[in-house]
Amino acid sequence: MILTPLVLAIRAVSAEFARRVYIPVVCIAGGIALALIILLIWLTTLSGWWWLLLGPVILATLAAIIVALVSGFIIKLVNPTQNKEQRGLVKSLVDEIQKTSEVVQTPKFIILFRLVRDITFPGKKSYINELTATATSLKTGLQKIIASFQK
Domain map (residue ranges) of the chain: 5-150
Neighbouring C-alpha atoms within 13 Å toward the C-beta of 55? 5
In 3D, which of 3, 4, 18 has the Cα closest to residue 118?
Answer: 18
- Give residue-wise pLDDT tens across range 8-61: 888 888 889 889 889 999 999 999 999 999 999 999 999 989 899 999 999 999
- Please tell me the predicted confidence (pLDDT) of residue 108: 75
- Please tell me the predicted confidence (pLDDT) of residue 129: 74
- Please tell me the predicted confidence (pLDDT) of residue 124: 66
- Please tell me the predicted confidence (pLDDT) of residue 2: 67
Residues 71, 65, 99, 84: is their CA dihedral positive or negative?
Answer: negative
- Give residue-wise pLDDT tens across range 100-145: 776 667 777 787 788 888 877 776 677 777 776 666 767 777 788 8
Q: Would you put residue 125 in left (φ > 0), alpha (ψ -120 to 50) or beta?
A: beta
pLDDT band at 78 (very low <50, low <70, confident <90, very high): confident
Model confidence pTM above 0.75: no
- Please tell me the predicted confidence (pLDDT) of residue 1: 56
- Please tell me the predicted confidence (pLDDT) of residue 111: 79
